Structures are given as C-alpha cells and as structure tokens.
Amino acid sequence: MRKTPLLLVLLLSTSLLTPLSDVAASSIDKINQRITQIQKAQRAAESRISEIEREKIQVASQKDQAHQDLVVIDRKLKETQERISHLDIQIGQTTLKAQDAAAQLDEATRRVEERDELLKTRVKVMYEMGEISYLDVLLGSNSFGDFLDRLNTVRLIIDQDVRILEANIEDQKIIEAKKREIENHLASLQGMYKETSDLKADLERQQNERAAMIAQLAAKQEELERVRQQQEQAMLDLMHNMREALRDKDQALRQRQFVGGRFAWPVPSSNRITSNFGYRTDPFTGRKTGHDGIDIGAPQGTTIVAAADGVVVVASYVRGYGNMVSIDHGGDITTLYAHIRNGGIKVKVGQKVTKGQKIAEVGSTGRSTGPHLHFGVYKGRTVVDPMGYLRG
C-alpha cells in the first residue's frame, strides 16, 4: 500500500485546533497560511479517500475472483479424489485377478511338468526295451487279429504323444498371454494412478494458494477500511479547523459577531420537513439514532440559500453527507447544507455570502434516500436544533 499524507493531515488536525488567543492581534498573512495548509491537507485527504475507494473495488474484485477459482478447484479436487478412489478399487480388483492368474499359471506349469515327465518316462521305457520300433511291434504279431490290435495300440500311443506335445505348446501360449495381459493392465492402472495423484497434489497446491490469497486480500480490505476511516476523521477535523481559521480571519478583518436573530429558511420554495432534529428511526438500519439536523424535502435542482451572512468554510464531497457546504456566521455559529446534487455547489471555500444568497441546489448524494436538503446548525462543535434559529 502506498504511503499517504495522513501524517500531515493529522498534524494539521492537532496543531490547528487551538484558536488564536488574541484574534485581533493575529496576522492576516499567518491566518491565510493556515487556510492554505488546511486546503492542501483537505485536497490530499480527498485524493487519498478516492484512491482508497478505487483500491477497495480492485481488492474486492480480486477476492471475488479468488473465491470463484476456489470453488472450481474444490470441485475438481472432489472429482479427482473420486477418480483416485475408483482406481484404488480397480487396482485391488486387478491384484486379485493377478493372484488368480498366478494360481492358474502355477497349475498350467504343473500340467506341463507332468506331461514332460510322462514323455520322459515313455522314452526311458522304450530305451530300456532296446531298439524296438513301432514296425517291430507290428511285425511281431502272431495273427492278423493281433496285428490289428497292435496297430491300434501304436496309433493310440502316437496320437497321445501328439496331443501331449500340442497341449504343452497351447499351455505355454496361454501362460505367456495371461502374463502379458496382467502386466500391461497393472502398468496402465499404475500409470493412471500416478497421473491422478500428481493432479491432486497440484490442485491442493492451488487450493492452498487461493486460500492464502483470500486471507491476504481480506486483511488488505480491513487495512484499507481503517485508513479510510482515519482519512474521513481527518477530513472532519480539517473542516472544523477551516471553520475556525476563516472565523479568525473574518474576526480579524471585521471583528464581526453573530448577534442572533432569525435565519432565512434555506429552501425558499419548500417548507416540507421530512425529518426533524433529534432521535428517529434510521432509514438504512431501522435503529433509533440521533439526527443532527432537519431534512427539507424538495425536487432535484431546487435552490438552496445561505441562512445568514457568513464565510464558506467547506464546499466539497464528505462521505455520508455527500456534496455539502458549511458556512461560518461568526459567534461560533456554523450552518451545514448536505446532499447537494452533483454540480450543484455554487460557492467556494473562503467566499463571503449574504443571507438569502443562492449557494447550492437540492440533490440526493451521500447517505440519502431521495432529493432533500439536510440542514444543520453547530454551536462550536456541538450540533443544536436548527428550528431554534429559524423561528427566533
């Protein structure tokens, strides 16, 4: 966050609160210097408040985007975890299949070994019988019937030997195919599991990053709000300081004092009071709160006049009041005119005005529910009921 001129504002707010002990002897030049310093501080505070509002909008947008990203990441993380759980089940099932296949392979191997042993036994027997060929067996027949029996026996032996060889070859093929199938399937599952686990780790990293970002942005929002409140308080202090400085200048020039009497009604074309001074139900919160003035209802653009002669001490936007004008009438009496429409301020700080002179136009800026003038009267720094001056 950029450093602000808040220190200057607060120093001015503190040092300028004490009025001159002898206004008549004060130098007009020194008072003008005070006014210039206050105006400079007001501009700096207004600029910083505007900057803070822009930063708040930007931070809120970033925070909203981070929340949206987090929702998407959470959804993807849930889907990924479901995928991992599904792969765990598949790997478990495939492992069982692999164990079953291993048992089948063991059985097939056992059969191959048995057939090999059978062939070895047959060869051994034939060897022990000597050089006896199948032809010898046939020629050694005693009769034609014996010849046929021996021929069938030889055929059976030959067929059996062929089947044994073919079965061995087929079992070898089955074993090799089964082994490849299981190895390939397990490799595929393990690859998918690793890929999905890596994705989960990346999503968890993104999730942690977004959560940390949201926490940082929330802290920044709090800091911006704290600084904004400081600036607004400084603006209020500067408003009082300006009022006192201009009052001192006016007293030094004319030694004028407000001698009482009735104020001019600030909205000549409308006498409709929509909210009186004192406690009322706040239109925004619904709670009982103090109302530091009276509200006079009137259409947008309706003329607002100065209640009495005086010097303008504020003519700018102030949070809550919106566009506002404040006039120092001397004798520690100040009037406040708030919620002026944009472009509706017709005077400037330091300008002398007369009773009944147009100073602004009705609007609905700031904390307002509709077009009206909020009119307030201050005795020193204490707000008082304006009707005591309007009826007097």
Instruction: Report domain extents, the chain.
Output: 26-255, 273-390
Superfamily, domain 273-390 = Glucose Permease (Domain IIA) (2.70.70.10)
State residue 188's pLDDT score. 80
Name which of 59-68, 117-126, 176-185 the model is least confident about. Answer: 117-126
Q: Per-residue confidence at 10, pLDDT binned at 50, 70, 90?
A: very low
Asked whether the beta carbons of 296 and 373 are under 8 A apart, the reply is yes
Residue pLDDT, tens place only, 193-207 = 788 788 778 878 878
pLDDT bracket for residue 214 (50, 70, 90)? confident
pTM above 0.75, yes or no: no
Q: Which fold has domain 26-255?
A: Helix Hairpins (1.10.287)
Q: Compute CA distances 16 → 35, 45, 236, whole Å.
A: 10, 16, 13
Residue 217 token pair: 């942005």
Q: Name, in order, each residue with C-beta under 8 angstroms of 193's C-beta and a sequence gap of 6 or more.
A: 84, 87, 88, 91
Average model confidence (pLDDT) across the chain: 78
Give yes or no on whether 26-255 and 273-390 have one common fold. Answer: no
